[in-house]
Structure 1
Amino acid sequence: MNDQAPMRKEAELTEDDRPVKLRCKNVWKVFGAGAAKFLADRAAVVTSENLSEAKLVGAVRNASIEVRRGEIFIVMGLSGSGKSTLVRCLSRLIEPTWGSVELDGMDLLKAKPDELIEIRRHRMGMVFQHFALLPHLTVLENIAFPLSVQGVDRKTREARARKVIELVGLNGREQFYPRELSGGQQQRVGIARSLCVEPEIWFLDEPFSALDPLIRREMQTELLRLQSVLKKTIVFITHDFDEAIRLADRIAIMKDGEIIQTGTPEELVLHPATDYVAEFTRDVQRAKVMSAARLMQPVSPSADYGGTVQATDKVSTFSARIVGVRKNFLVTGADGKPLGEVTPDAVIDLLADRDLTREERI
């Protein structure tokens, strides 16, 4: 499969060329008396033992990430891993103890209070696990509320709110109150409210975890639909790896406040950096994360193809078709040009969880 490696690399570079929207470097959030001075005196070069001896708690430890414009970047980990604390540091809802956070190159930690308020009002959107809808306001009023805080006139804010209501599929419920909505509908109101300010970056902290499984999957589908239209830069927090691999462009896995590994779902499953990541991803079906490009081989002369898939398509999305027709599928790039082909036998081996060859893992 060496013939395909340069083509995959070229595709990856194209994806990576998107500019960085949000960057945090060496961010620490340490709780306890004298935490800032403790880190400053040591230039933030400390161990867990150092923190314990000083009776300090490191909620986020030396975290660095880069979120590209227009991607869904997921931060995940178990409860207490520091993921929610990190996203609050990124938006400065809480102050990092050490490090830097940049939005389009601007150091948010140096922003004055009035500048930060304007950034949050006009450039950031936030959705949390608890919907926090105002019970005395209608759907329309709840969604338009952030614009009223900005001082936008009623006609303008309601017009924009109605557009967002249509976008999230709440037509006909403009005059409903939160108590008259289902959990999924309430979460749509929360999403619409955060979108009404037309944010450049969107922070979603376990927004679907309180929903029933079927509604949760419906909301994941809705998020993907919205993203296909809006192309927002999204930082999404979850503890559910199935949710992460369905939504993410890239994932950062956290443990004990540290980021253990960052990569695409495919990279994390096929190339775990630590035993912890390997255990975290152990039960994931490889067909859900492996792309056609990873499984393809060189194009055969005069091949009779049973179908065509894109290089980025996950094997799970076409496995039933290719096994059913028992013919090779042509793999194309975003421009429609042939890159390789996938065989039914390769897909069957993957579904049967047989070990991949070394070349297939490269």
Structure 2
Amino acid sequence: MTEMTPDQPMPGASATPADPRGATDGPLVRVEGLYKVFGPDPRGVLDQVKAGRSKADILAETGHTVGLKDINLTIDKGRIYVVMGLSGSGKSTLIRHFNRLIDPTDGRILIDGTDVMALSPRELEQFRRHKMSMVFQRFGLMPHRKVLDNIGYGLQVQGVPRAERLAKARHWLEAVGLEGYEGMYPAQLSGGQQQRVGLARALCTDADILLMDEAFSALDPLIRSEMQDQLIALQEKLHKTIIFITHDLDEALRLGDRIAILKDGELVQEGAPVDILLRPATDYVKAFVKDVNRARALTVDTVMKPPSHRITAETIGEALEQMKGHKGDYGYYFNDDGYQGVVSQKALEEAARADANAPLNEAHWEDSPAVTTGDLIEQALPGTLDAEYPLAVLDENGELVGQLPREALAEVLTYAEEVAAEDPEKPTETAKV
């Protein structure tokens, strides 16, 4: 699909940063022209939906409810793809199409090149057992089965021998931090522990795709945050394709590699979290993002600028020559031990008058903290405010990839205030679809 362009560009952050989680193996899921109409004659009103009549008008005149309208999206393998929206937006309806718990009124769903709608009942059964697993909002555990048996249930359905499935179940029990709980029943566990069991059960089948429908929304805030941490940590090792449904933007921004926002069954914006947050496409999306604390949601790589030059010379005179070959009156000094600090042209010129051939040492550079691309802006703020020069931005290998001036942070935070001041009408919840 073509991403929407906001009517007010975001200052700074001129380009979307490189994805810190690396390249993917390409698209695994494609949704093409997906429509879902609920009612006795959905095909009979489909033309009205395609003609652009509103959801409210169609419901009032025909008694049919538009669940989804012309959804087109692509989900890459090994990514967390978040679908978010308020109740009634169609997000839960959408996720149930992937494993055909709901069949569309029109459109196609391709999973790894296979048209899900073309599967026979037997093929669909195997598809659900091996290709996808689901984590439910209300845990979905069987109360009469112990934890280990709950985790291994999907393998039991697949016909995996008991010894093998229990060994795998024990592995995933430990992976979600519940070692020692295998002999307990779900009722003996807290809500967060039950959801860990649900997550372990979904992972145990080794399915390609993990569907998570409001999986953490029933949990207390602290436990919810811990489960998000757990999922992020597991994803860094497993690189599963996860389709995650939520109504919470903070959760979406924290978890998602890409985010799709639905409203009344329509896709109103899709993109990387930084695009959603900094470049909202509609007033509806602006209403979602205006209350987000950007300093806690954005990382340094979203606002950094191209770096000033890197100084690597061994002597004062050589360093001065390196600096004069570039614009600016300062540079970031690196030696064999990595980044050391900031050297200024003024300090080098003063030192050169005494002895230009003298080696550079700690007397010639100023201590200046560096930040990394993945640091939150909130973490970088104190150092930025105290530093005379923009902070050096380093990648995970300690290489210079940017700089963080105060002006870049001011642009982002000022823009946040301007968006909030517009105060677009707050989205209101409607009945669930």
Residue aligning to 1:34: 41
Structure-2 separation of matches of 1:191 and 1:321? 39
What CA deviation, in whole Å up to 9, does each residue of 1:136-172 have, x standing for no partner?
Answer: 1111011011111111100000010011011100101
Write the letter of the residue equivalent to 2:37. Answer: V
User: Does 2:248 match 1:240?
Assistant: yes
What's the counterpart of residue 297 of structure 1? 305
Q: Label 1:3 to 1:175 Cα distance change in 2 as closer, same or farther (>3 A).
A: closer
The alpha carbon displacement at 1:317 in A equals 4.1
Counterpart of 1:63 in structure 2 is: 71
Match of 2:150 among 134, 137, 142: 142
Flag the 1:141–1:13 CA change in 2: closer, same or farther, 3 A. Answer: closer
Partner of 1:199: 207
Shift of residue 350, structure 1, vs aligned partner: 4.5
CA spacing shift, 1:297–1:57, aligned 2, 3 Å: same
RMSD between aligned alpha carbons? 2.8
8 Å Cα contact 1:4/1:298 also seen in 2: no
Could you tell me which amino acid in structure 2 is paired with residue 254 of structure 1?
A: L
Query: Which amino acid counterpart does residue 264 of structure 1 have in structure 2?
Result: A
How many angstroms apart in 2 are the aligned matches of 1:214 and 1:282?
23
Instruction: Work out whether 1:94 is the aligned partner of 2:102.
Output: yes
1:2-46: CA deviation from partner (whole Å, max 9, x where unpaired): 9996xx56836996764011111111110112212442x679444
SS state at 1:254 partner: strand
Residues 16 and 274 in structure 2, CA contact (< 8 A), matched pair in contact too: no
* Partner residue, 1:347: 409
Q: 1:320 to 1:201 in 2, by over 3 A?
A: farther
Q: CA deviation at 1:56?
A: 1.5
Return the offset for 1:291. 3.3
* Amino acid corresponding to residue 328 of structure 1 in structure 2: P
CA distance, structure 2, for counterparts of residue 163 and residue 326 of structure 1? 52
More off after superposition, 331-340 vs 152-161: 331-340
Distance in structure 2 (CA, Å) of the matches to 1:271 and 1:3: 11
User: What does residue range 1-362 of structure 1 map to in structure 2 within 5 Å?
Assistant: 8=15, 11=18, 18-39=25-46, 44-48=50-54, 49=57, 52-301=60-309, 302-303=331-332, 304=341, 306-323=368-385, 328-333=390-395, 337-344=399-406, 346-347=408-409, 350=412
Q: Distance between the aligned counterparts of 1:44 and 1:347, measured in 2?
A: 44
**1:94–1:165 CA distance, 2 compared to 1 (3 A):** same
8 Å contact from structure 1 (residues 307, 328) kept in 2: no
The letter for the 2-side match of 1:97 is T
Distance 1:51 1:16 in 2: 44
3-state SS in 1 of match to 2:305: coil
Counterparts of 1:197 and 1:335, CA distance in 2: 36
What is the TM-score of this pair, normalised by structure 1? 0.88
1:206-262 Cα offsets, whole Å, 9 max, x none, are 011111111111111111111111111111001111111111111111111111101
Indicate the residue corresponding to 2:314 in structure 1.
Answer: none
| Aligned-pair CA distance for 1:60 | 1.2
Task: State the distance in 2 between where 1:12 and 1:212 align.
Answer: 31
In the superposition, relative to structure 1, how do residues 108 and 234 fare at CA in structure 2: closer, same or farther (>3 Å)?
same
User: How far did residue 128 of structure 1 move?
Assistant: 1.1
Segments of structure 1 that go 5 or more residues without pairing to the other structure are 357-362
The structure that has the greater radius of gyration is: 2
Rate the CA distance shift 1:211–1:244 in 2: closer, same or farther, 3 A. same
